Structure 1
Amino acid sequence: MGFVQTAFIGALAAVAIPVIVHLMFRMRTRRVDLGTVRFLREVLKKNAARKKVKRFLLLSLRIACITLLAALFARPYFVEQQRGSADRTLVLLIDRSASMELRSEGERLIDQAVQQAKQIVAKQGEQARIEWAFFDQEIYPLSDSTADDLSRDGIAAIRAPEISFGGTDFGVALRWARDICIKAAGGEKQLHVFTDFQRSGLDWSDMDVMPSDVQVQLHDLGRDAVNNVAVTTAFATRTMIRPGDATVITATVSNESPFPLNEVSLRLFLRSDRTTFEKERKISVAVGALEEFDFEIDGLQPGLWQGQVEVEVEDELRFDNRKFVALMSAPAWRVLVVNGQPNASAMLSETFFLESALRLAPPGETYAGSPYSPDVVTAEGLEQADFNEYKAVVLANVPDVSDTASKRLETFVESGGGLIVFSGDQVTPQSYHALDAVGLSPGQFDAIQETHDLPWRVQEWDSKSSIFEPFNDPQYGDLHRIAFHAYTRVVPSEDAKVLASFRRGDPLLLEVAKGDGRTLWLTSSCDRSWSDWPRGRLYLPMVHQMLGHLTGLNEGGPVRSVTMDATNAVASETKPGVYDRGHHWDVINPSARESEMDRCSLAEFSEQFALNVSDGNDSEADDGDDAQVASLAPSTIQLRDNEFWHWIALALIGFLCVECFLSNRTTA
């Protein structure tokens, strides 16, 4: 067992406090003989003996509490026993970020790093323990895929990755190496880092101080002068447009080569299911400059358009010469609204406010900027509607849903469609029995709850849900202010997720997943009969957030940009491109920081991570900078996987409860 914060072990001296208190407040008695209290004397003797035992037990509990508290702050962890009888631990970290694709003397930097690492391993004795890992924004330990330490034959077969697009994060690699060195049971410990010392990888994440007994050697494989031209960003000003609308794709080009770019080609290529779109322009960029260039697009046919922006130059790093882009050309999402209580007067219709919120315009009018186009039908029209034409279906106080319609809704939701059900005075357990039979019901329906005095208000909601995320900040709307006068009480099933609830604990909004789609149930109505919600300014954004949650318009829309870096890594994808996620598409590109060729010195690197750098680094530059570096306090505390402080915390809580119980029944 080891301790992360060994200084807190000194706090064990505090166990003297309860001992001193116990000695100072011992019961002092004075003997007085009274003939009339002969029987009372026997009782007092028995009580005194019992209290003496309790006092010593109380003292032991207090000493144990202080001991556990000191251990809690010291953060103990289980030390993994060293495998075999190794007398030396050798940790090898090889940078496999995109910049290591650079070539020197006709060979990639990462290939050179692998060869140098193999040479170091070949000089080690048979008893050396070897831990080898590649890293970019993540760590890739090779020993994780083997049953034991890497064998000599296994190391000889190691090859560098064919290509890598990851960013550089030195912190994540050094944290892994630190854990390996702490777990190693004695002996010499060496850490070798093979990298190009790209400055952009310094400050992505922090780490605890490396143990002082670890000898660190830094192997500099980078080059000071690099001929690199990069497309650092490429994005559409609007990722979702209407067919025929104009849009602009903006590309940013950086020139870190020693020569200016004069009249080189920057090309945009897009393709859809039916056709392609190409556009080219000549650009000029000065040395060290960063310039933006626009591609104007006059109308695209409906569909997903994906492609890339590429600069056609010959440089030393090809991975950043292009960036992927995508945008969606589509009309407003069609939404089928089923009006369960139509009325000759539009103002009294069940879906009057809902229709206006979706159209963003009064009845009979349409706003071109609205993402939704509602088609309103009665309950009878639900039977004939073709659900394949719609992104979502809304049932508003519909009195009855037939078995046929329920099965069609089940198929619609399972294939990725969205369903919203609003309650009302016509919603009963019997009317929605068919939806319950196909697994679209949120639970058991109960009686309608009504109030004539104080209204019900929203108490809690799921702050992580895309529906309520904008409302976590009260300045964008306080959900607590909405007043409800009636709702249908629902007892949630195990499959239902409660997204919002009233102060009395009953659900307001529930979610039921089915196949690739989801169903939202709001236990109140969408008109003014049961709440003042439709008359408030939160009605429109809430309706749009609910539909956006089902149709993929929330959290960035149908086309979302993702960067392959430490802050927004996509572990499942190792190559840039456009990937279909079901409700949306991810456009994944390498980090623009990986195109920055600035390098840091060995002294700057060592100071950043508080490394004890030993002599013998293989760098040809900054040899005079290799020096002992004083330990620096970590800016953030990183938890170890093998700590067991939570068990100590539970034991401490238990001891404190027993101590409180016993102290209330003991006279000190």
Structure 2
Amino acid sequence: MQFKHPEILYFLFLLVIPILVHLFQLRRFQKQYFTNVRFLKELSMQTRKSSKIKKWLLLCTRLLLLACVIIAFAQPFFKAKDNENKGNEMVILLDNSFSMQAKGSRGELLKRAVQDLLENTPESQQFSLITTTNAYWNTDIKSIQKELQNLTYSDVPYKPDFLLTKAQAKNPNTGKDVVLITDAVNLDSKDVSKFGTGSPVYAIVPEAENIRNIAIDSVYISQTMDNFYEIKVDMQAYGEFEDDVPIALYNGKNLTAKTLVKFNGEKKSSTFTIPKKDFHGYVSVTDNSLAYDNTYHFSISKPQKSNVLAIGESQKNAFLAKIYTADEFNFIDTPLSGLDYNSLEKQDAIILNELKEIPQSLVTTLKDFYAKGGNVVIIPAADCSLQSLNTLLSTFGNSAYKPLTQTERLITKIAFSHPLYQTVFEKKTDNFQYPKVSAAFTLTGNAMPVLSYDDQTPFLASLTNRLGNVYIFSAPVNKTNSNFQNSPLIVPTYYNMALSSGKTGISAITIGQNQSLLLDAVLSKDEVLTVKNQDADFIPMQQVLNNKVKLSFGNYPETAGNYSIFKGDENIKNISFNHARTESNLNQQNKSVLSSFTKADSVATVYNDIKSERTASEMWKWFIIGTLVFLLLELFIQKFVK
């Protein structure tokens, strides 16, 4: 037991006073004469004995009464259980990732958590609140009420360790009372590894009632016809769905098509056919669960002709002219001796078709061309300079050719998931006529195989810098050395190698994955490109590359949707953004990671627990009660004890 005012205990010396009064108390007796004192003597003895007991009882009660009064004024207390953390700062780490969009018994998990904070946090309580996107330092509930009510969902994963590090960096010398409010979806033990045993940690884990969910993963052009695109929508179902699910396609705000999808497995695709013209809209599905992954925004711009330059002998370039037709490509073929270097930067794809020597000036130019987003196709000649070829490859990566071998090889393996063939095959097939080569180099290094021989070495491989691509053949493809020109693979392979991502296909960028876009645009000195729609606008990072501009988006925009890229008031391209589908699987809730923390049902429980653990047990009230008890006891003794 401890005392707030221990100096008052000195007054316990006053207990000597009733003792002295008791010991030296003198009572005068009056003489009374009786005729017979025999009975009086007996009565006198009995009265003297009772009087002695009464005096001792009164002395005890008065001593205890006085002692209780003195101790009560000294204010005794027992120390709180968690007294050492009494000066801790309250830190609330609130999960506002998209999985908190799920609905619990009282509505969306995040909105319910915010309401819990607003209703149960004392107005005088100071705290810091950190979400995945915002931080409010040393504030109170009234000051951030509006911000909490307007808190939006984020595609940033909830990482408690990272948020705690921010709090510790803000006030490094202050202890922390940490409150985690999260549904624990996608939470890993590594995410809470920095939470030590020194500071109290409370975990509030709201749970969704419905963990079934459907997410639209991707939208792509599965087939290009003369006047139409065939659009394929890939979806993922988490949980079982017995009823048909409606899916709709919108161009802007106009409904273009609608259908029902029956999920008889985890993955399902739906196909739409749309006119071959500009499209700026989205596809949406209705599943009564998470909303953020029910919509996928995408844009399709009217195809522009790609510029393709083939460098080599005219007779060897003849098959390329049949693939790169005038309605879709601006195709030029030229021998190396007649090459105009100034025209290279205007191309989308450059094909080196069986050159015997590659000048250093061309190597330097191609390196710069690839860095600015161009596609380079390398077809070696059987009698080419191996050193010249490897010098060129070394500028793009660590791939290299080994000497030519006169061994017939079959091309037996296709990388169906490679971007070249993603929209070519409806399903994987092993039953096709294998092309072959009579002589080939062996390609080594880190290039990704696209087509491979039966000995698993690549016939065609690719490198990428996320803007441009390099496609490397390991053998000449002329009809003397190979029958590849007669293969069904020849057209889609060369066709897709020449396409520029900025001029064709679907534009749908994932926010936060630091994707880039290359545009044909010429900017003046102080001119910039702006990305905007009716609700928001921002200026992305941009790099001017001669007659092109490279845009990098980073974590912008904050909201998914359809946007347009403007040069001043001119709309030069439509573009769409979507959030990554990392929070779609609600089955990935991992509450066991939080098992070592104190579980709480609400914020009110946390505050009550902290208050009870850190509030000292005040004992003065009990001593006041004791004073009253002894006072009453003294009265009873005076009245009833004879």
TM superposition score category, shorter chain reference: 0.3 to 0.5
> Could you tell me the TM-score, scaled by structure 1's length?
0.43
> Could you tell me the TM-score, scaled by structure 2's length?
0.45
